[in-house]
Chain A
Amino acid sequence: MVEAIQSPAHATYWLVQGRLLFLIIYLLGTACFSYIVARRLQPLFRGERDFRLDQPFRRLGRVLQFWLGQWKHPRYRMAGTIHLLIFAGFLILATRAFSVLALGVSDGFVIPGLSGKAGHIYGIVADYASTVVLFCMVVAAIRRVAFKPARYAVPARYGKGHSADAIFLLALIAILMAADSLFEASQAAALWQQGQTAEFLPVLSLPWMLNKALLSTSLPMLQSLHLGAYLIHDLTFFFLLCYRPFGIQFHVETSLFSVFFAKLDRGKLKPVKWGIPDERLDQVKSFGVKTFEDFTWKHMLDFYSCADCGRCSDNCPSNAAGRPLSPRFLTIKARDYTFLHYPMFGSAKNGQPLVGSVYSEDEIWSCTTCGACEVECPLLVEYIDKIVDLRRGLVDEGNVPQSLQKPLKALESRGNPYGKMTKKRADWVSAGNFGQTCRVKVLNGESAGTLYFVDSITSYDDRIQAIGQATAKILRHVGEDFGILGAAEKDSGHEVRRFGEETLFRALRDHNTQAIRESGAQRIVTSDPHAFNALKHDYKDVPPVEHISQVIAREVKSGRIKFHPAENDKVYTYHDPCYLGRHNQIYDDPRNVLDAIPGLKRVEMRRSRDRSFCCGGGGLMLFYEAKEEERIGVKRVRMAAEAGANVIVTACPYCMVNLEDAIKVAGLEGKVTAIDLAELTDQQLVRERPAA
């Protein structure tokens, strides 16, 4: 067959034969890319260990769900859809790209299996794919420039905006699509002009449109366009390939790995150092992350994988309140640090402390560990472990805010952050009316099958003791044989650990673990989601633990709990506590309980379930004096009011403290009230005899 149009392999580009030119481009491009990736991997080899090969099949499943299936993307409808199309397009076009590149050195190259019918079908799909991708590039660019979604904005203290770079990348991809299509269209036009059969171009695809435009173009021109488009295609392809590792587009390559190696379990924290058992921790010279190389390789990979989408910060309650924390920039700053200190040429400059140069202390202490960022991130970037590691480093250096030193000291000497006396921990049991009517066993000497782990705030806070009392009454009502540890109980240490004081946490944990084992209880119930999470994920070798909402829900189903009708003039909404909902996926039990109360009107807030907005944090966070514009809790109670609710139901004592406080500060006293699920249950419970 006469060649209608010269192929790039045979053509001569400025005295160089195409085949040679492109071979050189490919070799150089690939070598360049390999070198760049090797340099990018260098810090990972200096990073700490991270064990990420457990449960490989589960990991593969998550790759299918989150990487291939783009599971999290639709949470932001518009951007999610665009990205889905782009991602699908890229996957489809990957094969095409390879074959197009191959044409540069091997004329007439066809991928085995894609000749004939399969090839045709693939060609059609690929043509539409590149059209859609180009279209998406345009839409994305317009979004950036005209609509400027808030989450893309870069606050002044973080430097210049990122939009210029984003548009540059969008443009490059668009050029790639256009070049590819032009390459195809020009050949088709040339063939057609010579009366030969051209490759079928599907209607309204980009190649089709270009082809229509080129129908009357002269042959020599078509030839130039054909060869030129090819050169541009190859150069753009390799430029993009080598440019991607210099910015957020690196996620194209790293996302597969960041998803595969992503953390499997929520609610758990990474150990101080992987591979070092507790007994040998005393020998570890330094705790936590102080310099960049203290991060694990997976955390460093996270820094590369961030796509700068801003979804994390958009959902971060601290960020919304105006605290100095923005998870997105935690990652971007670390990534920029890596680029700066591990340059392409020259030796790595490393080992400087991160806090004070890259991060501020306030930034690190501002995090409530609510997990909204992690739930949102499409690349499964982890944040909580990094914050905790950074805090471990600060604690190790003695760099702890004065406001936190007092409660930490009190936890050390008295097992509770309030400095109240140990022997008064169970005083709530005998307080007031409750003490007369409901006997609560203290398990020192007595035994019971179930342990009610009360934890510090419920034991000592005047207001929150009511939640403890309500819980005890409910357990009594459903016939649970239960008791409390009393003065033998110390703080669960949940926030102690998340604020980086690992050693104190272990002391509290070891003490409690022994007390729990000695009590002989076979199961644990708690009304405190932080204690629940600690006992479930931070403690080892303790009986299984449930949250009281789970117990109530089960007993509602079994019929042992029946409710009086609710007051008709109230509208209720349920606020998901972070450590019950997001971290432990208990969303429905509390809702089912509320819906079992006859006549109870319930609405959902705009942010609920795994998008619930943190109340402001619990445990030690109650003592931290954050620099913020508006209190996190105040934002939350306004959301409740917006949803039309006048009663907020929650299932966490810290949420209760924060929300009740916020109601006052927001000036909503008298308009909105808060009640704990246990309190509400106790209040509405149908009792044959008076509550005993």
Chain B
Amino acid sequence: MEILVCVKRVLDTSENEIELNREGTGIELDEAVYSINEPDNYAVEEALQIVARVGGKVTVVTVGGEDDEEVLRREMAMGAQQGVLLSDAAFNGSDAKGVATILKSFVQKGAYHLILTGVQADDGGAQVGGMLAAMLDYPFASLVNSIEVLPGKLKISREIEGGNREINEIELPCVLSIQTGINEPRYVGMRGIRAVASVPISTYGASELQIDPGTVGKLAAKVKRLDYFVPTLGKGAEMLDGGREDNVERVTELIAAKGGLR
């Protein structure tokens, strides 16, 4: 099975304190640590496990620049056979639809049975996968937390409320967005990354992908982020500032008062 996984390099939220920079114009990037978007990592692991079961090849692709090659290499160190960078000055400033347009052009150059994305990235949008599917006219399912390969189709489950799972059958080729926890991603050590440090990464620009620059990039974007800000906090909780003993007493009183102690 030919599987394409769309990945993104993001600020690692567990290792960075996301704060506004001093000027207030964006995020503080001093000593920022970047890594692969966590759901994308689960998607690559899932692709590798599927290919281990049924044979095939895993390709990872990202839209970005030279800095983004490091996540491609990391996923290749994990086992992806090929890494692809879609890069062009014309792509800069694309909104999600722009990114999906670029990815769609790349997908159409190949013959992929399955396209995976992580359920969402740092902006919490959860949009590129669904858009890509619609552009390709492929069936789509989001929040996928299990995949079983059947002849010509997949049996998948989606994570819905209450921990329940919605079971679907979906025809190939299709696009799936993958939820974290679907598997246990393997470890990628420094040695593995060094081993792929000089493996070539195919790079394509707007002309190779036959993309009309008017459909992507800043000018084509219908959705623009104007700024980042930290909202002025509302009243919030009444903070108890006594010593622990006093706080414990107060809490006990409150619980009893609110009908907590029967």
Residues of A within 8 A of B (CB): 282, 287, 395-400, 402, 404-406, 408-410, 412-414, 419, 421-423, 501-504, 507
Contacts and interface: CB of A to CB of B under 8 A. Distances in A.
B21 to A, nearest CB: 15
Nearest to B79: A398
Interface string B220-235: 0000000000000000
Interface in B44-73: none
B129 to A, nearest CB: 24
A398 B78 contact: yes
Contacts of B188: 398
A399 B31 contact: no
Interface in B188-206: 188-192, 194-195
Given A413-B15, A414-B15, A423-B31, A399 B194 contact: no
Given A406-B14, A409-B35, A398 B194 contact: no
B186 interface: yes
A503 B194 contact: yes
A503 B187 contact: no
Interface string B67-92: 00000000000110000000000000
Contacts of B190: 412, 501, 503-504, 507
Nearest to B78: A398
A399 B189 contact: no
Contact of A408 (B14, B79, B187): B187
B187 to A, nearest CB: 3
A501 B190 CA distance: 8
Given A398-B78, A410-B15, A419-B15, A504 B189 contact: yes
Nearest to B48: A398
Contacts of B189: 395-396, 398, 400, 408, 501, 503-504
Which of B78, B189, B195 is packed against the most chain A CB atoms within 10 Å?
B189
B224 to A, nearest CB: 31
Contacts of B17: 421
A455 to B, nearest CB: 20
A132 to B, nearest CB: 56
Contact of A419 (B14, B79, B185, B187): B14
B187 A414 contact: no
B191 A413 contact: no
The 10 closest A-B pairs by CB, nearest first: A398-B186, A400-B187, A503-B191, A503-B190, A419-B15, A413-B33, A504-B190, A398-B187, A405-B187, A395-B189
A419 B13 CA distance: 11
A441 B144 CA distance: 54
B46 to A, nearest CB: 14
B12 interface: yes
Q: Is the interface of B mostly helix, strand, loop or mixed?
A: loop
B60 to A, nearest CB: 16
Nearest to A284: B191
Contacts of B33: 413-414
Q: Is the interface of A mostly helix, strand, loop or mixed?
A: helix
A414 B35 CA distance: 13
Which of B12, B17, B184, B191 is packed against the most chain A CB atoms within 10 Å?
B191
B149 to A, nearest CB: 22
11 contacts: A287-B191, A395-B189, A398-B78, A398-B79, A398-B192, A399-B186, A405-B187, A413-B12, A414-B15, A423-B31, A504-B190
A503 B17 CA distance: 28
Contacts of A423: 31
Interface in B1-33: 12, 14-15, 17, 31, 33
A502 B194 CA distance: 13
A421 B31 contact: yes
A504 B33 CA distance: 17
B19 to A, nearest CB: 12
Given A409-B35, A413-B12, A413-B35, 10 more contacts: A282-B195, A287-B191, A396-B189, A396-B191, A398-B188, A398-B192, A422-B31, A503-B190, A503-B191, A507-B190
Contacts of A419: 14-15
A414 B79 CA distance: 25
A419 B14 CA distance: 8
Contacts of A410: 15
A419 to B, nearest CB: 4
Contacts of A507: 190
Contacts of B35: 409, 413
B187 A399 contact: yes
A413 B78 CA distance: 18
Contacts of A422: 31
B199 to A, nearest CB: 14
Nearest to A287: B191
A422 B30 CA distance: 11
B31 A395 contact: no
Nearest to B31: A421
Nearest to A400: B187
